Structure formats: structure tokens, C-alpha cells
Amino acid sequence: MNAIADNPLFGHDRLPSFDRVKPEHVEPAIRALLPTMASALAELEKTIAPTWAGSIPRLTALSEAIGYAWSVINHLMGVRNSPELRAAHQAVQQDVVTAFMSLGQSVPIYRALVALRDGGEWSKLDETQRRIVTANIRAAEHSGVGLTGAARERFQAIELELAELSTKFSNHLLDATKAFALELTDPGEIAGLPLSAKRAAAHAAARAANREAAADAAERGPWRITLDGPSYIPFMEHAQRRDLREQLYRGFVTRASSGELDNQPLIDRILTLRKEKAGLLDFTSFAELSLAAKMAPSVTSVEQLLGELRTAALPKARVELDELTTFARARSGDAALTLTHWDMGFWAERMREERYSFTDEELRPYFALPRVLDGLFATAKRLFGVSVRAADGESPVWHADVRFFRIANEAGKDIAAFFLDPYSRPADKRGGAWMDNALDRKRLGDGSWRLPVAYLVCNQSAPVGDTPSLMTFREVETLFHEFGHGLQHMLTTVEHLEAAGINNVEWDAVELPSQFMENWCYHAPTVLGSPAQPGLARHWQTGETLPRALFDKLIAARTYRAGSMTARQVYMSTLDLELHHRYVPGGPESVIAFQRRIAASGTVIPPLPEDRFLCGFSHIFAGGYAAGYYSYKWAEVLSADAFGAFEDAGLDNQSAVEQTGRRFRDTVLALGGSRHPLEVFRQFRGREPSPKALLRQTGLAS
């Protein structure tokens, strides 16, 4: 059998063969695909024509095979990481980056695209085609196509090193998160923890010892508390032992900041290289380079939005801190208690429980994952007219927990599919939640369509024994969020792959459909059910619907500590922007000192002296949010205003909701990157976006 032909990383028009992909397939596949791409590039450079047919489709086709293989490899780096896969990835990463740089820096291709833009055929192209050509020209310019000689060589060296540093940053963070744990044996050490958290901690201890957990392990122990979200968050919110909360918190904010896993040198180097890269492209800062391809028109416009939100949020956050301090002093009996970082979650949860008379643990039994999925899919059908059905077994998966689903339109025809990887696996899966493309929508040679397929990845609490995954409400919101991203990818109607789904969508607009979907977690018919659809909240044992009184408390608590939450997001967005716009790497001020200075004017409690939060800020150092973390708040303005259209139509008016939902589907979800996001928003909303809905929704409106 031909080992190359049998490599599961080949075959870019089909679903990945995850049951067959092994680390040893990586290097042979990439080594075989690189020369093919290089040969196709050389041929294209000789024959490219300044026409649509003679350029863009051929340009896309030449990198599809290697792009598919590299995408599968990088996906597995996030969800099934291993030393063997890391070694294979590292062995070929620089060659892959070099190959794509050669493509991005191709002068013949760039000249042909510029000639197309400036030539007679331009008037014959539709708006989608024009956006694609324009985006390719801009990408080439940002890839250094205009550089020559030493400047070009330096740019290429920077790109190679940045790719390596990003991977190393991510691996360091994963390893540092895995390396820390509180091993607890005394029941007093886990006092206050809800049963679900104790059960999960006991099973984590058993797994670490390579044994089965005893039936009474939740109460008898031992227990293992880690820095992974489903373990860390409940402990910080419920553990009565303040000293252990402190220990865990310090472990969290110093992750990947010492020894062999220290990310601090990587941060300094990344910022230095990004600044140098921007300078080579004649931008004064990396932030300006980043925003040149985004919806926000300038750094100043982003600063203006963040400033408005900060002005609204910080005074409220200070009042919230005073309220929490007063509450904690009264309930603890310590009239001199000064709250610090490891107290905030604990006392905020106590005050929320008292103020709104419910706990997260009361909610969990009503949010079992299978039922939540039923409610989520019913919501998608009601709003967008699409049906989701389980298709487990129809595609190979990378882990036994992963599920596969198909989506059909109103006529019952399959139009998309997605993988769902819901549970936390600290040993080999990075934290957080994300959506990514598995396959893009594409017209095939026989005239049929390759259907879009998405990866939806979460890190929620896993089932324990016979108990299903009982979700926190925040985990429910996260699932809706990622499904919103997936819907934009899967419900696209754009005919050109280059702008289908989330392709070619400006980065600071890509969070619109995801944040929009979170709103339905607070909509009574969605959660509790109605004559038109089942609700997503039913007790996993009794089948009882979430009591309306409890749901009303949940709604009332939506804006609880909204000032503090908004201030934190604005602080992180500001820090990211300032690091990439005004910070001088290698200058007299260290990056940690710079962070502390930004925090002084943007937080109500300054970071600890040893705080190394930046060492775990993977969004901007190992993800796509560099000088773009503000996108969450930018898009939140759009998403809140978009949901406002449903409020205006009448949330209790089934017909109006369906009509508005179809309009959202046919604009925001369908048009993808074929139009500027502001135009797409106008098509849906009928006007420019306004921040009023966001301020009202978060309780920050005056």
C-alpha cells in the first residue's frame, strides 16, 4: 500500500479521518504537499491573468490541500495535544509558514490582482468578488509583498519566529495549567464546595492516581483542584478556606511565568517582533496594522468606545466593591476585612445567593447537556427554520466524547454539519471555548456543493458516573455563544468560498452572531418552554421545568456586578491595545510594569505584585486577538442592538420573532464576508448600530 496515498491528511473535500490521523502522518503529508503547492504557485505566477477566473479561483485552489491538512493538525493540537504531535508540528511548522509567505509575497499575483482592480473587468464583478479581490490585495501588502532585499528577508524571519513563539506560548500555558494542583485530603479543606464540585474533584484525584473513584469519594476524598476552569471557578466561588483560595489564585495568575515554561521572555519577543513587522510595512504601530483589516476605522475610534464604556462602568464597579465589602464584613464578622482577589468570587457568590435567593447548584440539575442541546436546537429551528439531528457515527471523531450533528433547511435538505467537543480534558485539551472551520462551503467540479462543517469546542464539566454533564448557567451561555459562531459558518449562502461563512468577515464583527445567541438564554419561552417549543431547562431526574420564580431571579441577576464585569473586559481590551500601540518593547518600562500602570486607571483592585496574567493571555499572544481583544465589546454593541430588533418586534409574538429571525438568518448569518459588516447590519436593522441597547442590557444606562 502506498503510505503517502493512504495518508488520512489528504482529501480536502471530505470530512477528516480523525480515527486514523496519528502524529506520524504529519510530516510525510506536509512534505508531500509542500512541493505540490510550490509547483502550482510557480505555474500560477507564469499564467495568472488580471481577470476573476484567471486569478482568484486558481489562487484559492493551489493552497487548499495543504491548508486542509494544516488545519486538521492545528485542530488536534488544541483538542488532542501530545508530545509526539508537538514534535511533528514543530518539525514542519517553519516550512509551512515559509510556503504561505511565498504565496502572500508573490509579486506576479499581486500585480495581477491590482490590474484586475484597476482594469475594465472590475465593473463587471459583483460586490462579493470585489471584496475578495480587495482583501487579497490588502493581505499581500500586509504580508510584505512590497518589500525587497534585506527588508523582505527580515520580514520573513519575523513571520517564522512569530509562528514558533505563538505555538510555544500555547504549549507553555497548557503544560503550566496541567502542572499545578491542590491535592486535598481533609474534608475541612473542601468545606463549602457543592456536591458537583466535590464529585468532580474526587474523580480528578482518582484519574490522576490511575484508579476508579470510590462510590463515596465525593465526601471522603481525596480531592484534586486544578487551574482548569470547571475546577478552578467553583473552588474560588465556594471554598470556605481563604488560605486555599489564595493559594489557588496565586497559582492561576502566575501560570507559565517561571522556569522552563516561562512565557515572559516570549511576550517581550512577540511584542518586539510585531512592532518591527508593523514598521517594515510603514505602520506606526502593530495596532494600526491590525485595525487596517478590521471594521473599526482607527485606533482612536476604538479608544473612544472603550472610554465611553469605562466611564459608565468604573464608577459602578467601585460602588459594587463597596457594597460587597460591607456585605462580607457583616457576614464574616470581621469589621476590618479588606477584600482581595481571592475573596471577590467567594463573597460575590454569597451576596448573589442572598440577594437573588438562588445558587448555581440549584440551577445545575435543570441544565443537563442533552436537554440544553434539545432546547438550543429548538431555538435555532424557531428563529432560523433549520433542523439539527444527531448523526453520531457518520463521521470519525478525535475522542469518544465528541458528537456529530447535521443541519437541514426548511425543505429538509442537509446544508451543513458540525462536531461538538463539550467537555474539559486538562491532560490534552487547551482551555476556553472556540469555533473553527472544518470544511468551507464550496462549489465542486460536478456542480454540487461541499457542505460547510464546523468544530464547536467547549470545556464544561464532564459527566460523572451515571450523572450527565450538569451545566452552570455560564456554560449554557458559552454553548449558545459558540453555536452562534457555527451558525454564521454553516448557514452561509455565499457562493464564493473566500467570503463564505466567517471567511473575510472583519475580526471585530465576527462576535456579533455568537453574542447575539447568548440573549436567548434569558428568554422565557427558550428556557422554560412554550406551546411552540420545548424548553432547555428541565430537571434531569424528575423532568420538572425550571420554576418560573427561579428563572425570574436569574433574569434579575443578569446585571449583577455588571459594572465590575464590563470594567474587567474594558481593562483587558485597553491593555491589549496599549501594548500594541504605545508600549515600547525593550524600553525602560517592563511589560509587567506597563500592565500595572494600565491597571491603575482601569481596575478597582490593582493586580498583585507577582501577577503575571499576561503569561496566560493566550487570546493575544497565541490566538487571533492581538490588538483586537476590543472586538468582544465592539461586536457586543452590534449584538445587543441586533437583539433589540426582536424586542421591538415583540418577544412574545411568535410570528414576529420568526419573521425577524429569518431576516437575521438571511443577512447576518447568510451574507458572511460578502459585504462589509456595517452594510450587513444596516440590511438587518434598517439603520446604523447604537450602543444604547448594550448599556441598557448591562444595566449601565444612566
Task: Supply the pLDDT for residue 701.
Answer: 76
Pinpoint the alpha helices (H) of 333-448: 341-356, 360-363, 369-384
Task: Supply the pLDDT for residue 672.
Answer: 95
Catalytic pick among 482, 511, 518, 578: 482
Convert the pLDDT of each residue in 545-586 to its tens digit: 999 999 999 999 999 999 999 999 999 999 999 999 999 998
Domain assignment present for 130: yes
Domain assignment present for 233: yes
- Length of the chain, please? 702
Task: Supply the pLDDT for residue 1.
Answer: 37
d(CA 508, CA 633): 9
Task: Supply the pLDDT for residue 700.
Answer: 82
d(CA 336, CA 351): 18
Domain assignment present for 159: no
All three cell numbers of 215: 462510590
Domain assignment present for 550: yes
Task: Supply the pLDDT for residue 215.
Answer: 87
Task: Supply the pLDDT for residue 4.
Answer: 63
Domain assignment present for 38: yes
- Cβ proximity of 496 and 128 under 8 Å: yes
Same domain, 210 and 116: no
**Residue 197 is part of which domain span?**
180-255
Which stretches in the chain have pLDDT values below 70?
Answer: 1-5, 702
Task: Supply the pLDDT for residue 6.
Answer: 86
Same domain, 123 and 236: no
Which CATH number does the domain housing residue 72 bear? 1.20.1050.40
Same domain, 429 and 531: yes
All three cell numbers of 311: 466611564
Same domain, 386 and 531: yes
Same domain, 118 and 214: no
Same domain, 443 and 552: yes
Q: Is 264 left (phi over 0), alpha (psi -120 to 50) or beta?
A: alpha
Task: Supply the pLDDT for residue 146.
Answer: 97
pTM score of the predicted model? 0.92
Task: Supply the pLDDT for residue 638.
Answer: 94
Residue where a domain stops, chosen among 220, 255, 290: 255
Same domain, 115 and 201: no
Domain assignment present for 605: no
361 as an active site residue: the answer is no
Domain assignment present for 237: yes
Which CATH number does the domain housing residue 416 bear? 1.10.1370.40
Same domain, 418 and 470: yes
Residue where a domain stops, chosen among 559, 582, 615: 559
Vertex 486 angle, CA 480 and 491, to 5°: 120
Same domain, 426 and 539: yes
Closest CA to 623 of 166, 264, 80: 166
Strand, helix or coil for residue 475:
helix
Same domain, 536 and 426: yes
Pinpoint the alpha helices (H) of 119-148: 127-142
- Cβ proximity of 512 and 696 under 8 Å: no
Same domain, 86 and 198: no
Same domain, 78 and 187: no
pLDDT above 70: percentage of residues in the chain: 99
Q: How many domains does the chain have?
A: 3
Residue where a domain stops, chosen among 124, 146, 168: 146
Domain assignment present for 268: no
